[in-house]
């Protein structure tokens, strides 16, 4: 009997480790980068085991409890052996806690190191503790310890050495927040990964495991806030019926350091409160919001605050009552200030009735308000002045509001980047904006320094990413969309990380540590955004996509209810040339930038070619840097972009041996769709612009298979997210 038992145990162990070590079992991508698969390299695994003989943890807060759970599950998967709680008498233990809750950590005298790390930073150290070798994960707060725990697990997931650790890490930006554009009926504005993950109908009683896994994933990359609802807001979320559901989510997220925020519909006092006005200077309105805030805090004591889209694209706002954005923001800020809440007031405003270049309007409205906002207001600015295009120059507000903390808004969901059928790794896009030089305090005044507060000594700092998450099994529709969620979090934590490093981490954790897989796929990811720019909007073109749903090409879009929602408004193609003159001879949007930027972008010869048609209207035979005419160059780029998607398919095909069949085929099929879409963009745009340029497609480039008329008549129905 005993023998049988032993045999069974060995059998189960072998079965377990074999299953864990199989590289090609099917996988639907649900586990994201938190797979914790068995470490294949035996020497590495042995070294890890020797340094992980047990876990010492004294604190038992909800946050430390989830940190312990994560370590136990993670290490069981990675090492095939459970991690036991132990005492300090053994060598090779892992010690987790803060100096406040763990006496041995207190005795290590880390105060100086810890002070520098602020409330969320962490230390991971190889140390001698009571004469024995140990690894210590510590911080000033439990959430810092949790962040350190995830970092430590990542070291194992990415096969790093853990014997000589001396890691200290702290976020450069305070508020690292996902913006969900999720509606209460579970549709997601510009969402391409199914329906909303918030199942409002079953909340508050049903806590889907997904909510926990969502919080775990966010904590693992340092995201500490989530706005649950669409910026095109519904006031219903502020009713008790929904606040009790919000509370349930907030409770589930709290151990992971993830705060909940809501969007505030500016007209809520009228719609729900029965008031005659929502005028921010009206005493009754102020009281209504104060009471509403107090009510929210009674459900969610650590509620983060409001995100507001006002007087933009038809949303109500203070201007309806002749008041300014500052009046509106301050009124809400006063309502949440007492409990430490903030207001994130969006600068995404433009008006069709204003006869000025749309790219100028946010600056025109907000710059004069600098210094007029309350201390707990952040103005949230999109990365570029139009709208999340494949490429835009940085928004001119960055650097222009020294007395108002500006928060970055990136779009993780790929509204204008091929939605969920295109593989586009966005770290290079985010980095391009963050590294851009505003020149406002001389060279080196990067956007990143504005956003992290170091340029203007902002007290509040933040970065928002419009989420690409839905209830698809793999969360993001396209498996590689996970890399964009991942890189957003990593860059919000530390904007100095390189796109390559972040992709390397993500690939190792998501797929494998094999160099023969990593090198080509990392390269493919880093190139993918430039590839997309080439087949969609090369040389500074922008906003030429399909109408309303924004899917596929639509450079011919004109005569719509709003000029600034058409394509011809932006490309201005004519028989002479193409491009939007934003210099002094045109809209002079360029004047909103510092002189250093103006000098560079002001002349076609010195303007970086990627922004040429953003700032200049250029003749078709203008000679670009390659020596080609503008027309020839435009064609070459469109063709290059589409051809590169073909190369991406080959690169992926060559990686087959390293990926399980399910995920391999998922990406493979999507790359085929992407290639078709890239050719569609290429052919439609080249044929359309040719009607103005009146020049042949350069020799050697294959002719489009269809006529322009064919492409114009394409009318995709029921595009998701619209
Ligand atoms: C645009 C989207 C629209 C959003 C808007 C915004 O098309 O759905 O509501 O941005 O950011 O890009 O408010």
Q: Does residue 24 have a pLDDT over 80?
A: no
Residue 17 binned pLDDT confidence (cut-offs 50, 70, 90): very low
- Compute how many other C-beta atoms are within 10 angstroms of the C-beta atom of residue 19: 10
Band the pLDDT of 6: cuts 50, 70, 90. low
Query: Mean pLDDT over residues 176-204, rounded?
Result: 98
Q: How far is CA 21 from CA 37, 173, 315, in A?
A: 7, 38, 53
Query: From atom 11 of ligand 1, which residue's Cα is the shortest distance away?
Result: 348
Kindly report, residue by residue over 456-468, the tens digit of the pLDDT: 999 999 999 999 9
**Residues 474, 475, 477, 482: is their CA dihedral positive or negative?**
negative
What does the pLDDT read at residue 21?
47
Mean pLDDT in residue range 31-50: 96
Q: Residue 252 pLDDT more than 90?
A: yes
C-alpha span between 308 and 265 (Å, rounded): 7
Mean pLDDT of 260-273: 98
Instruction: Calculate mean pLDDT across residues 569-576.
Output: 98
Q: How far apart are CA 324 and CA 312, in angstroms?
A: 13
Kindly report, residue by residue over 47-58, the tens digit of the pLDDT. Answer: 999 999 999 999
Q: What is the pLDDT of residues 295-318, one digit of tens each?
A: 999 999 999 999 999 999 999 999
Say if residues 479 and 663 touch (Cβ distance below 8 Å).
Answer: yes
- Whether residue 652 is predicted with pLDDT greater than 60 in this model: the reply is yes
* Residues whose CB falls within 8 Å of the CB of residue 175, separated by 6 or more in sequence, listed in order: 224, 225, 304, 342, 378, 407, 460, 461, 462, 463, 464
- What mean pLDDT is predicted for residues 520-549? 98
> Closest ligand 1 atom, CA of 230?
9
Q: How far apart are CA 170 and CA 222, in angstroms?
A: 10
Structural domains of the chain sorted by starting position, each given as residue range(s) with its CATH number in brackets: 34-169 (3.30.379.10), 175-267+295-308+329-510 (3.20.20.80), 534-580+617-712 (3.90.1330.10)
* Average pLDDT of span 470-476: 98
Asked whether the predicted pLDDT for residue 525 surpasses 60, the reply is yes
Minimal-distance CA residue to ligand 1 atom 2: 190
> In which element (H, E) is residue 381 found?
strand 377-382
- Mutation to probe ligand 1, out of 179, 180, 181 (largest number of atoms < 8 A from CB): 181
pLDDT band at 8 (very low <50, low <70, confident <90, very high): low
Give the span between the Cα atoms of 381 and 349, in whole angstroms: 10
Check the CA dihedral 646-652-657-663 and report its sign: negative
Instruction: Note whether 137 and 96 are within 8 A (CB).
Output: yes
What CA–CA distances, in Å, run from 477 to 84, 91, 720? Answer: 37, 45, 11
Helices (H), 377-480: 427-435, 447-451
Q: To test ligand 1's pocket by mutation, which of 307, 351, 414, 415 has the most ligand atoms within 8 angstroms of CB?
A: 415
CB of 388 shorter than 6 A to ligand 1: yes
Task: List all residues 6 or more positions away from 343 whose beta carbon is below 8 Å from its beta carbon.
Answer: 305, 306, 307, 308, 329, 332, 333, 336, 374, 376, 377, 378
- Arithmetic mean of pLDDT over the chain: 96
- What positions carry a catalytic annotation? 313, 387, 415
- Is the Cβ atom of 387 under 6 angstroms away from ligand 1? yes
| Cα–Cα distance, 608 to 27 (Å, whole number) | 43
For residue 390, how far is its CA from the centre of ligand 1 (angstroms)?
15
- What is the rounded CA–CA span in Å between residue 156 and residue 75? 9
**E strand or H helix at 123, and its extent?**
strand 122-129
pLDDT in tens, 420-466: 999 999 999 999 999 999 999 999 999 999 999 999 999 999 999 99
The answer to whether the CB of 189 is under 6 A from ligand 1 is yes
- Ligand 1 atom closest to the Cα of residue 315 is 13
pLDDT for position 354: 83
What percent of the chain shows pLDDT beyond 90?
94
* Total-model pTM: 0.96
Top pLDDT among 83 and 469 is at: 469
């Amino acid at each position: 009997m005993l023998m049988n038992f032993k045999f069974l145990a060995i059998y189960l162990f072998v079965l377990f480790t074999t299953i864990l070590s199989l590289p090609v079992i099917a996988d639907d991508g649900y586990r994201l980068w938190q797979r914790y698969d068995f470490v294949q390299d035996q020497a590495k695994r042995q070294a890890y085991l020797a340094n992980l003989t047990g876990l010492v943890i004294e604190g038992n807060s909800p946050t430390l409890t989830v940190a312990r759970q994560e370590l136990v599950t993670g290490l069981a998967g990675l090492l095939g052996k459970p991690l036991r709680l132990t005492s300090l008498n053994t060598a090779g233990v892992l010690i987790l806690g803060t100096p406040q809750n763990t006496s041995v950590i207190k005795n290590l005298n880390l105060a100086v190191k810890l002070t520098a790390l602020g409330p969320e930073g962490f230390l991971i150290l190889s140390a001698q503790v009571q004469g024995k070798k140990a690894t210590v994960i510590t911080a000033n707060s439990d959430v810092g310890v949790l962040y350190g725990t995830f970092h430590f697990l990542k070291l194992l997931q990415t096969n790093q050495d853990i014997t000589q650790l001396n890691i200290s890490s702290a976020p450069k930006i305070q508020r690292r927040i996902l913006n969900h554009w999720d509606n209460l009926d579970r549709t997601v504005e510009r969402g391409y990964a199914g329906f909303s993950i918030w199942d409002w109908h079953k909340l508050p009683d049903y806590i889907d495991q997904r909510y926990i896994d969502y919080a775990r994933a966010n904590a693992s990359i340092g995201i500490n806030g989530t706005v649950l609802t669409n910026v095109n807001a519904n006031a219903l979320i502020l009713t008790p019926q929904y606040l009790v559901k919000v509370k349930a989510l907030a409770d589930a997220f709290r151990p992971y350091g993830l705060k909940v925020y809501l969007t505030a519909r500016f007209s809520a006092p009228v719609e729900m409160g029965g008031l005659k006005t929502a005028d921010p200077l009206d005493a009754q309105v102020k009281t209504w919001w104060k009471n509403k805030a107090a009510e929210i805090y009674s459900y969610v004591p650590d509620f983060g605050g409001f995100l507001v889209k006002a007087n933009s694209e038809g949303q109500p706002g203070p201007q309806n009552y002749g008041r300014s954005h500052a009046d509106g923001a301050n009124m809400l800020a006063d309502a949440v200030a007492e409990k430490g809440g903030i207001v994130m007031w969006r600068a995404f405003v433009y008006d069709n009735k204003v006869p000025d270049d749309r790219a100028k309007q946010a600056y025109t409205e907000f710059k004069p308000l600098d210094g007029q906002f309350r201390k707990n207001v952040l103005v949230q600015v999109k990365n570029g002045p139009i709208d999340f295009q494949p490429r835009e120059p940085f928004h001119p507000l960055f650097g222009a509001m020294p007395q108002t903390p500006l928060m970055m808004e990136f779009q993780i969901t790929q509204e204008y980047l091929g939605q969920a059928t295109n593989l586009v790794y966005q770290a290079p896009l985010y980095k391009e904006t963050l590294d851009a030089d505003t020149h406002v305090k001389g060279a080196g005044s990067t956007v990143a320094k504005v956003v992290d507060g170091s340029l203007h000594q902002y007290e509040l700092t933040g970065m928002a990413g419009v989420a690409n998450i839905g209830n698809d099994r793999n969360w993001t529709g396209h498996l590689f969309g996970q890399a964009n969620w991942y890189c957003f979090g990593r860059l919000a934590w530390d904007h100095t990380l390189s796109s390559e490093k972040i992709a390397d981490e993500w690939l190792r954790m998501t797929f494998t540590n094999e160099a023969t897989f990593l090198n080509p796929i990392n390269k493919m990811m880093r190139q993918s955004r430039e590839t997309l720019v080439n087949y969609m909007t090369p040389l500074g073109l922008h906003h030429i996509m399909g109408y309303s749903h924004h899917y596929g090409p639509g450079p011919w879009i004109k005569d719509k209810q709003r000029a600034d929602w058409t394509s011809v408004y932006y490309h201005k193609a004519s028989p002479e040339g193409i491009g939007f003159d934003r210099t002094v001879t045109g809209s002079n949007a360029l004047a909103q930038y510092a002189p250093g930027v103006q000098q560079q972008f002001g002349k076609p010869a010195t303007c970086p070619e990627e922004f040429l048609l953003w700032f200049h209207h250029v003749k078709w035979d203008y000679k670009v840097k390659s020596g080609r005419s503008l027309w020839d160059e435009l064609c070459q780029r469109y063709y290059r972009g589409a051809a590169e998607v073909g190369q991406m398919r080959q690169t992926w095909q060559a990686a087959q041996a390293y990926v399980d069949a399910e995920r391999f085929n998922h990406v493979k099929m999507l790359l085929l769709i992407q290639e078709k879409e890239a050719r569609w963009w290429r052919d439609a745009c080249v044929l359309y612009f040719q009607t103005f340029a009146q020049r042949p497609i350069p020799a050697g480039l294959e002719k489009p298979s269809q006529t322009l008329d064919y492409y114009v008549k394409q009318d995709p129905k029921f595009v998701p997210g619209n």
